[in-house]
Structure 1
């Protein structure tokens, strides 16, 4: 019995020693592995933080370049304020057109083109988008700086370090929201977004420069083009109004004739009332004959035919009256439509011929202003 107990105790001590050695080794290896991974993580964070900072600096430089380009463009725009004002006034006046004339015609397209030559250089929206991308980079870099500080401290933490202690249940807390792949992809997407915005900003600066260099010539060409479009549109509108007025005159005459026709039909129907009353009264009185005198004679037949013919005539006249009244209603509706269309054309002619062309009697700026646009590339 004692041999058995001693043997069991020896095995137990041996197993215990092996377990202590194995757990100590596993603990050291695991801690070393975690420390190594923390180092790798700190390196990854440092790398992406550096990439973010490089892109932040590049975006800051681009924003400053864009602001300078905007200032240059604003100076050119200030020198061209008068033609821009006239184009905008024409557009605003033409918004007062009515009905079918409120159309995006050649004049509208030409005016919009003229205005676009100026407002295409406005960079406020592009600066906002650049700043939004830069802000996203700065937040990302700030978060990485914070995370790098934590992981760097954790990498330096040792079994003998101060501040370590038990935190029961902490291993069960998982408040992570990303995995390594999505973590890296988030920063890559922020950088890619910023690069796209910078590229768009650079393209915009190039477009602004090109626009300014062509603006003087384009303004003159477009001034003539708009005037030609206005004159063509005024002629078309005048022709359309004259045709509408001719149709209105014919419609008014037809309404007059149709009203006479309706009055004639009503009188004709009214004129049938007394003959109908006479015929029906005769028939009614003859029903009072007695005995053999109640004869279906020729008079009886004639009176019956007369009542039937009168009723048929009244039905025909009433149908003609109904059709005529409907036609008259349609003619009146057509008249109202034509009058409205004519008022629309008159309003358009007032806007185009009086208001707009009144402002465009001469070129609204000095043709020699062109050299102001010959500026260095932004």
Structure 2
């Protein structure tokens, strides 16, 4: 412990030269105020801020100063030394030049640090402004792109909705044609059954009436015509069913596309109206990792365009098939009606011929019956006994009397001889 009244031995350290381009930390954290001389353990004075801790070392024990009076106990005058007595302490202090140079060095370092900090602050401000302007420009461009994207999505939505409406109308029309075709196919069973029953009943004709006449030919042709019409209707019915499946598949693709478009429209419209002050914004990890191989604007537009083209192609095929079915219905209807009329004409002619033959046969039958009746009456008349034998007796008497004629007058029979005529 040093004696009171003597100057404390000063402990100092010579700091390392600091480069002129040294930039101090601009952070306000406590870590930025660390000791610039880490190889010395220098204490800091917290109670006396005016006392620099760079050049002085605080004593390990602080002496208690007492008044220099006689009444002061514990103070030995022998221990009080005069100031010039400790001359060795004079050679351990700095000179005024060193002190001024140290201050100037500190001033220059402070000024250099301030200039560097100012440049850094200006550069940082300029960078912040540039980035802010660039960010605002990017946000503006992004909002513009989102607006264009929303318009594109709205355009394709309208196109797809229009095509869906057209496809729904075409599908309904084709379904109605299918129902008509099925009903027409079912209605052909009646005429076919009638024609077959006619052929079956005509097989009951007997004898010479079991003839392969024009009616039978027309009935067979009607059966073949109805079966041919039914076969064509079934083929077209299969085509209609396949076309309906194709229409529904194209409509399903359009509906799935419009569903995706609606979701994308809702999201992009929300993103377009989103601002930096909007609620719900935040940081999301990994959002910048977008798979660019999924879709690009060209393939995106081509996808919807292909769906629309496919739907239009299916609609054209469906319309053509509807026309074919309408033509088939008209053709089969006309064909069956014509054949039905031919069969009726053949039946009418055959019935007329049969009625004429029947009438003639009935007439001949009546005449034959009349003749039979008259013959029977004659037979009965010949079999009826006579009331007298006068004619028989008279004839025999005449013969007997003529046998008595004389000579040449006995002729075998009586004949009138004309004068001048030859012969016996």
Q: What TM-score do the two structures reach when normalised by structure 2?
A: 0.43
**Which of these two proteins has the greater Rg computed from alpha carbons?**
2
Instruction: Tell me: higher relative CO, structure 1 or 2? Use CA pairs within 8 A at least 6 residues apart.
Output: 1
Q: What TM-score do the two structures reach when normalised by structure 1?
A: 0.48
